[in-house]
Structure 1
Amino acid sequence: MLCLLVIKFECASTCMSSAPEECPKPFCKCEKKSNGKAVCSGRSLNYIPRLPKYIRSVIFTNTSIRVIDKCGLVNLTFQQIENINFTGNDLHSIDKDAFLNLTFLSSLIVSSEPNLNVSTLKLSFQSFQKYKLSALRLTFNYWESLPKDMFNNAHVSNVRLLFLQANNFTYVDFTTFKSMTRLRDISLANNSISQIYFTKLTSLTKLDMSSNLLQSVPTFCGRNDISYFPNLNNIILSRTYIAFLGPKIFRCLPRLSTLYLDYTNIGTLQDNVFASLPSLQTLHLNNLGHPLGKITQNAFNSSSLETLILRGSHFHFDQKERYNASRIFASCPNLQHLDLTDNNMPSDESTFQTIFRPLRKLQKLFLTSTKIVSLPTNVFTHMKLLQKLHLNDNGITFWNNSYHIFGNMTSMKYLSLRQNYISVINETSFPEDLLSRLETLNLARNPFSCICDQMWFRNWIQKNGSILKEYPNQYRCRHPNSMNGIVLKDYKPTDKMCNPWNPLYTMAIVMGIVVISFITVGSIAAKCQGNIKNYIYLLRVYHNRKKGYIPLDSEEDYEYHAFVVYCDNDRKWVHNDLLNKLENEEGLQLCIHHRNFVVGDSISVNVDNFLKKSWKVLVIVSNNFAQSEWCQWEVDVVQERRRRQGKEVIVPIILDTIDSKHMTSQLRTLLDSTPYLRYRSGVGSELFWKVLLESLRKPLGHPPTSLLYYPSFDDQTRVSPETETPTW
């Protein structure tokens, strides 16, 4: 305590004035913020100046300060200095009591000071406040070694961050850091380390050994497989000479979550290299092997792996002998982030599908510069959780079946197709539901064609341009030549320009109307053919009457207006509908075998007798009728009468459509040679009954009529219609 008071008194006697209000110009520049910072530089500066009270951090760079004695930093005691940085000065030594009065100091940087005596720096550590210093950066000093007891001091035992990058260390013994019981992050990057000796550091969480001369991965296991670093979660071994990874090389790292092996000489990724890392989540494998030659089927075997970065390795996914497409990602099903930038993807769509089939949980996928020419179908559509998709710098020109490429991507927020060969975007390029969900769409630096096919995209941009990245400057026309270099935003096509009326449209419309008319008329005719035939039949009757034809054989000469031939299965319609209409309402008399035949006489005798008493014959045709042998016999009898008296003597009525398998030759002959009526209930029934009545009252003959003949005025006797003789 007495020595401490003497030092304070000696230093105070050389500088009694208080801290200045202004920054000491021209040597320093000060920033007055919540944590004020001062930067002091210039070769004319060879001492530590006094700084304003608000300064908390100070940087001395490119000065001529050579020695910091015990009073060298006394001018900084007027502030609560927390951070000191000595970079690129001409430091040679630092006094062991130099930092004695800097009670708030928590971070010290000594960088680019190759002339500094490391032993004096080591001794100065004892002047730090105990347990106060938390960060120590000794970088770019090109020191070849450190004293073994460099940090064997309680005053630096609280250091959490130790950076020793860019020196010339060839060998590192971790017992040097053993007393730093709270050390969490140590960086030995950019040295020449080829050998390393570990000792147990339970507090260490991050180790950076990148850019060294390591030929192999150091062992992390001590005796009895006890881990040297049981809490280590981040290792960087990038830019080393490591060329081989064995299946047990990363044992004894139970909490390692992030591993960097970028720019190493690994030419083959062997099976189960990372399987011994139960907590591995992020794996960086950029630019492996120069290029990477082979990936075995279980190389990425890790159920915990979530992020895989395999950029720039120029691996040939288009050469099946280098890997197993169905297995390459099958053993890491929980992968969420995959970056395959600067590799060669297959052109075969089925192989593409096979590679990505297991990755159902993928959220981010980078396929930049992977030589994709056509977008694969049914690959991204199965990635329900995919949020970001990068397809930049490929050879994509256009695609069809957009739903099979981008459909059903319900989580997609970011899509980039930057710098491809896309010329036209239209309404079928992306599913509508995808565009409605996207927050960012990047189509910059594509050779757009400013033609009418681009009109939809121009209209879409006006409403949704806010989601387009790099718009409008990186969206320019390449075609046609007259528009080359023009910003797409300035291309403004109109409907009149792009949709002029073509005379062919008029012809197409007229032809369409004609075709529709024919189809309509044909449909009506097919549906109402029965009613149409009834109309034609009725018109013929009216036409014959207008020409003066009268019957030769009157219905008054017969007891019955008609003999009804029907199947017993159709009796309900005959008795309820036919008889009711013709007898009860119209007063006609019909012969029905159920009612009129004489009991005791044979059926053939009854048929013959009652046919002679009937003026006409009604034949009720149905599927039941066609299947009845007795009804077929009656058709033969009726046909005989038709041959004698003409076709008007028979009136066929079709109740339902006859199946072809039931149609007999006799029935077909009857229907082909005799006009028939078709019964339809509902619409058309009234016309049916009207035509039926006309048919029953129509005269017989072929035609069954006689023309009224009137003699000339020279005749002495006029013949009356009543006495006229019929002419057959």
Structure 2
Amino acid sequence: MKSIQQPRSLVAIIALLTVVVACGTSLSLRKKLECHRGCYCSLFKRERVVMRCSLFNLTGKPLPTPPKQSKNLNTSIYLENGTIPALLHNTLSEYSHYRIVILSLKNNTIRNIYKHAFSRMRYLQTLDLSENFIAEDILKESFYGIAMTPIKELNISSMNLTNVSDDFFEHLENITNVRLTFRNNTSEFPRDALQGLRHLTDLDFGGNRLKAINLGNASFPSLQTLSFDNNHFYEFPNLCSSSIFPNLKHLSIQWNGMRYLDRNYYSCLKNLTNFYLNGNLFPELKSNQFSMLPYIYKITLSYVGCAMHTIERAVFNNSALKQIFFRKNRIWFREAEIDMRVFEGCPSLELLNLNDNVFQVTTEIEFNTLFGDLTNLKTLVMGGNGLQSIPQVITRKLTSIKSLALYRNSISDLKPNTFENMTKLKKLFLANNEISTIDKQSLPKDLKQFEMFGNPLSCTCDMMWFVDWMRKDPETFGFHKTPQNKVLYNCSSPVIVKGVQLLDLKMSEISCLMDQDVKIITLTFSTLLTVFLVTGAVMYRYRWHIRYLIYMVRYSQRQEVDTADYEYDAFVAYSAPDRHWVIRNMLPVLEGKENFKLCVHDRDFEVGKLIVDNIVDAIEASRKIIIVLSNSFAQSDWCRFELNLIQRHVLENGQRLLVVVMLEEIDTRHMTKAMRAMLQTTTYLMWGEEEYARKAFFNRLRMLLRSPTRNAGKRRLSV
């Protein structure tokens, strides 16, 4: 017991040290500072100070003083959700002595701001005035002092600015590289007011009530990021009426409920790299929807599937495209109007997210059409797709993938060497599937991250290697991030360990080896039983062949030289259905006209004698053997047995003894190996109903039956 407890103690010590190190790291990243009463101050990485204050009332009182470290370090101050009636000319004067780069005055009931209130803040880069109800003319004048700061980001959202004047931003016209957030529930785009901000680089105009925009001859030459999220556009706004956004790189028009996506309205955005279209109601996506964007890098078209009924071929056709997010659309990728070549023309695609679409009935051929050309793909996400197995095209062709996510599916089995071609795979996510056991050979080598929780794991000895791996390398399974997640790695079977966490599972190598011995013994007896049953079945199946061998042993002791006269010129072997043909066609010619003596079993076999003995005696007493071959002959077990006896006799006495008559073409289903060999090595006569065919048939048959000296009865066995 002592030897067992020591490793556990070691694990506990390592876990404790991990917690200590983690806490120490956290403390080194964040340190609490002495702060103004009612506020919380901290130091991050010894290079940035943060002060947060809320629910305060500063009516007639000075603003909270930052920590002394703020004089030498960049400082962020958040004075939010309190009461600051006004910002007078000296309200912020104390802050001029500190390196304040971020100042948030959000939701403080501010109604008045003095013109020069911010003019002394020499380091201010981000200012948030949102959720204060400041009159337009007062706010406009406050921009005068803001323009004297190195401002880079200004938020004036939720301030009831529904209709601003054309000169609203006149004091900010000379500032450069600024981001403006303007979410004010306005229904009209302030084109003329914003046009004065020619150096504006980022504009967030989401959360308004725009249904359309009229840009006229406006121009925003410096704008790189534009957002119209959460407006009321019915169709995509025309951004190409003139050269309005020549340098736009990021465009977001999400959650507008748009029904129409006209490529001509954004085709002019030649520098666009990121295009966000989530949450709209497009009924269709057309071919080459984005092909005109030469530098496009990322497209998101998620949450758009509830109204979509048509997806054409090569929608995303663009050699520059690197990332596609097409998730949460619930699209059935097998419907008639959904073209499986939707990703055709994307040779550079590296990331594809298809979460929560439906591939439950998609075939391997269709998967190959969908993914076959995406050979540069590095990340593929297919969670919640109804997959019952991993599509083969992924594991065989998409060998550049580094991260593969297949969680929330119905995958139940990982076959050995499943990922043998995916040599670059480092992250594999298979959580919440139906996998019970994992073969060590089925996983790729050198996995850095592997998630398997939420599967009905069978905690048998076959999983011992997996448990050892989890204990040895818990970081691979994410335990270092959220240790409590280990409860999701529970045993589902056998019943005795159901609900037990894998890391708490007690399995020893000795007990598993004992189980292995039992398995070997069971397997051995099962194998012997199987061999016995199979042998019996084979003997029954080939009982005629065995019987043939027995009779061959009985007649194997024959003399090498046969000196007796032959009783018959030929023995005729035929099936019962062909008896009429033998009597009507063959006997009248060969016996009536040609005076050959034939042995036919209906007439010449000795009554009371075993049929097998009759056959053997008839063969021995005949100079030639005629086989009348037909489909009925090929299907008869007795005829097959008779054929085996004849072929053995022919092998011993020479191929010249055999004459094959083909009454009809033999169906390949009835052809045995013996018949096929006989037809390949023996020239046969084909019966025909025409008069000339009959004459030719009997002429050849007569020549084959005629001996060099008609009545010569002695012959040598040719072995």
Indicate the TM-score class for this superposition, using the shorter chain for normalisation. Answer: 0.5 to 0.7
**Contact 2:240-2:267 at 8 Å conserved across structures:** yes
- Where does 1:621-660 land on structure 2 (aligned, <5 Å)? none
Structure 1 residue 171: Cα displacement: 0.9
- Where does 1:513-552 land on structure 2 (aligned, <5 Å)? none
Q: 2:154 aligns with which of 111, 124, 136?
A: 136
2:268 paired with 1:255: no
Q: 1:245 aligns with which of 258, 261, 265?
A: 261
The aligned counterpart of 1:353 is: 368
TM-score between the two structures when normalised by the length of structure 2: 0.63
The aligned counterpart of 1:718 is: none
Q: 1:323 aligns with which of 315, 318, 338?
A: 338
Q: 2:409 aligns with which of 394, 409, 413?
A: 394
Structure 1 residue 418: Cα displacement: 0.7
Secondary structure in structure 2 of the residue aligned to 1:473: helix
Structure 1 residue 201: Cα displacement: 0.8
The aligned counterpart of 2:127 is: 108
Q: 1:450 aligns with which of 459, 462, 465?
A: 459
The aligned counterpart of 1:417 is: 430
2:207 paired with 1:207: no
Secondary structure in structure 2 of the residue aligned to 1:171: coil
2:26 paired with 1:26: no
Task: From the superposition, tell whether residues 41 and 390 of structure 1 become closer, same or farther in structure 2 (CA, over 3 Å).
Answer: closer
Q: 1:298 aligns with which of 297, 314, 339?
A: 314
How many Å separate the matches in 2 of 1:104 and 1:258? 31
**Contact 2:404-2:427 at 8 Å conserved across structures:** yes
Structure 1 residue 496: Cα displacement: 3.9
- Where does 1:668-679 land on structure 2 (aligned, <5 Å)? none
2:81 paired with 1:62: yes
**Contact 2:177-2:200 at 8 Å conserved across structures:** yes
**Contact 1:272-1:299 at 8 Å conserved across structures:** yes
Q: 1:186 aligns with which of 187, 191, 203?
A: 203
Secondary structure in structure 1 of the residue aligned to 2:129: strand
The aligned counterpart of 1:44 is: 57
Q: 1:467 aligns with which of 449, 463, 476?
A: 476
Structure 1 residue 504: Cα displacement: 6.2
The aligned counterpart of 1:618 is: none
**Contact 1:125-1:155 at 8 Å conserved across structures:** no
Structure 1 residue 252: Cα displacement: 1.0
**Contact 2:248-2:271 at 8 Å conserved across structures:** yes
The aligned counterpart of 2:357 is: 343
Which string of whole-angstrom CA distances, capped at 9 and with x for unpartnered residues, describes residues 561-584 of structure 1? xxxxxxxxxxxxxxxxxxxxxxxx
Q: 1:499 aligns with which of 516, 537, 545?
A: 516
Secondary structure in structure 1 of the residue aligned to 2:140: helix
The aligned counterpart of 2:381 is: 366
The aligned counterpart of 2:302 is: 286
How many Å separate the matches in 2 of 1:78 and 1:376? 63
Structure 1 residue 155: Cα displacement: 6.7
Secondary structure in structure 1 of the residue aligned to 2:207: coil
Secondary structure in structure 2 of the residue aligned to 1:125: helix
Secondary structure in structure 2 of the residue aligned to 1:184: strand
- Where does 1:579-590 land on structure 2 (aligned, <5 Å)? none
2:151 paired with 1:151: no
Larger Rg: 1
* Residue identity matched to 2:201: R
- Where does 1:377-388 land on structure 2 (aligned, <5 Å)? 377-388=392-403
How many Å separate the matches in 1 of 2:306 and 2:99? 51
**Contact 1:148-1:176 at 8 Å conserved across structures:** yes
* Residue identity matched to 1:366: V
Q: 2:391 aligns with which of 362, 376, 400?
A: 376
Secondary structure in structure 1 of the residue aligned to 2:454: coil
2:83 paired with 1:74: no
The aligned counterpart of 2:589 is: none
**Contact 2:147-2:171 at 8 Å conserved across structures:** no
* Residue identity matched to 2:426: K
**Contact 2:388-2:410 at 8 Å conserved across structures:** yes
**Contact 1:448-1:479 at 8 Å conserved across structures:** yes
* Residue identity matched to 2:517: P
Task: From the superposition, tell whether residues 482 and 296 of structure 1 become closer, same or farther in structure 2 (CA, over 3 Å).
Answer: same
Q: 1:117 aligns with which of 122, 135, 141?
A: 135
* Residue identity matched to 1:477: C
**Contact 2:236-2:262 at 8 Å conserved across structures:** no
How many Å separate the matches in 2 of 1:313 and 1:254? 28
* Residue identity matched to 1:411: K
2:276 paired with 1:265: no
**Contact 2:224-2:248 at 8 Å conserved across structures:** yes
Task: From the superposition, tell whether residues 272 and 487 of structure 1 become closer, same or farther in structure 2 (CA, over 3 Å).
Answer: same
**Contact 1:60-1:85 at 8 Å conserved across structures:** yes
Task: From the superposition, tell whether residues 232 and 504 of structure 1 become closer, same or farther in structure 2 (CA, over 3 Å).
Answer: closer
**Contact 2:367-2:393 at 8 Å conserved across structures:** no
Secondary structure in structure 2 of the residue aligned to 1:87: coil
How many Å separate the matches in 2 of 1:316 and 1:505? 45
Which string of whole-angstrom CA distances, capped at 9 and with x for unpartnered residues, describes residues 638-675 of structure 1? xxxxxxxxxxxxxxxxxxxxxxx99999xxxxxxxxxx
Which string of whole-angstrom CA distances, capped at 9 and with x for unpartnered residues, describes residues 380-438 of structure 1? 211121111111000111144x43x42211211111111101111124433xxx2x232
Structure 1 residue 84: Cα displacement: 2.3
The aligned counterpart of 1:477 is: 491
2:346 paired with 1:332: yes
The aligned counterpart of 2:449 is: 440
Secondary structure in structure 1 of the residue aligned to 2:127: strand
**Contact 2:256-2:279 at 8 Å conserved across structures:** yes
Task: From the superposition, tell whether residues 260 and 140 of structure 1 become closer, same or farther in structure 2 (CA, over 3 Å).
Answer: same
Structure 1 residue 507: Cα displacement: 7.2
Which string of whole-angstrom CA distances, capped at 9 and with x for unpartnered residues, describes residues 452-473 of structure 1? 4434534555666653345743
The aligned counterpart of 1:406 is: 419
Structure 1 residue 189: Cα displacement: 1.3
Which string of whole-angstrom CA distances, capped at 9 and with x for unpartnered residues, describes residues 571-613 of structure 1? xxxxxxxxxxxxxxxxxxxxxxxxxxxxxxxxxxxxxxxxxxx
Structure 1 residue 219: Cα displacement: 1.5
**Contact 1:94-1:120 at 8 Å conserved across structures:** yes
Structure 1 residue 306: Cα displacement: 1.2
Task: From the superposition, tell whether residues 505 and 45 of structure 1 become closer, same or farther in structure 2 (CA, over 3 Å).
Answer: closer
Structure 1 residue 451: Cα displacement: 2.8
Structure 1 residue 339: Cα displacement: 0.6
* Residue identity matched to 1:384: T
**Contact 2:364-2:393 at 8 Å conserved across structures:** no
Secondary structure in structure 1 of the residue aligned to 2:466: helix
Q: Give unpaired runs (5+ residues) of structure 2.
A: 1-32, 480-484, 531-649, 655-719
Structure 1 residue 509: Cα displacement: 11
Aligned length: 486
The aligned counterpart of 2:679 is: none
Task: From the superposition, tell whether residues 54 and 482 of structure 1 become closer, same or farther in structure 2 (CA, over 3 Å).
Answer: same
How many Å separate the matches in 2 of 1:462 and 1:73? 56
Secondary structure in structure 1 of the residue aligned to 2:237: coil
Which string of whole-angstrom CA distances, capped at 9 and with x for unpartnered residues, describes residues 141-181 of structure 1? 3432323212112576225111113x211111333222323
How many Å separate the matches in 2 of 1:238 and 1:112? 23
How many Å separate the matches in 1 of 2:289 and 2:353? 19
- Aligned CA RMSD, in angstroms, stands at 3.1
Task: From the superposition, tell whether residues 207 and 476 of structure 1 become closer, same or farther in structure 2 (CA, over 3 Å).
Answer: same
Which string of whole-angstrom CA distances, capped at 9 and with x for unpartnered residues, describes residues 496-542 of structure 1? 44223465677799999xxxxxxxxxxxxxxxxxxxxxxxxxxxxxx
